[in-house]
Copies of this chain bind each other. A is one copy, B any other.
């Protein structure tokens, strides 16, 4: 694996535009190095981006994602206040995830019901009658 990446490499890898990546930087979710004025992304930056996109797939707003991302570093913080704050935030996120988990279970069950009904009706139509036979 490479040590560093360009913006377009990351864009291709994750299927997003460079505009989006710069936007994330604007919103303080990334802070790549500069070589001249070109952005250089480390493997750590790449990981942050990967985590960011995971958060997006869960429908989280960018500022929440930013907070979670910052917890990774805050876990090493020196100040008690900061550590305790992070702990609380972790709990919040955990609860959100639990709720989403429940929502997923429920949705899955519903989809299963729908699909079953569909398949039964399809079988009824295509199987038994001659209505549409050539």
**Are B51 and A110 closer than 8 Å at their CB atoms?**
yes
Interface 1/0 per residue, A93-120 and B, CB below 8 Å: 1100101110110111011011101110
Inter-subunit contact B75/A93 (CB<8 Å): no
- Chain B CB within 8 A of A80 CB: yes
Identical copies in the complex: 2
Bound CA span A107–B41, Å: 23
Tell me which of A5-13, A17-25, A31-39, A121-129 binds B: A121-129
- B125 x A111 contact (CB < 8 A): no
Q: Determine the chain B residues whose CB is within 8 A of the CB of A80 once the complex forms.
A: 122, 125-126, 132
Q: A117 CA to B71 CA in the complex, in Å?
A: 10
> A54 touches which one: B58, B103, B114, B118 (CB < 8 A)?
B103
The residue that A111 contacts in the complex, of B74, B93, B126, with Cβ under 8 A, is: B93
Q: Name A residues whose Cβ lies closer than 8 Å to a Cβ of B.
A: 51, 54-55, 57-60, 71-72, 74-77, 80, 83-84, 86-87, 90, 93-94, 97, 99-101, 103-104, 106-108, 110-111, 113-115, 117-119, 121-122, 125-126, 132
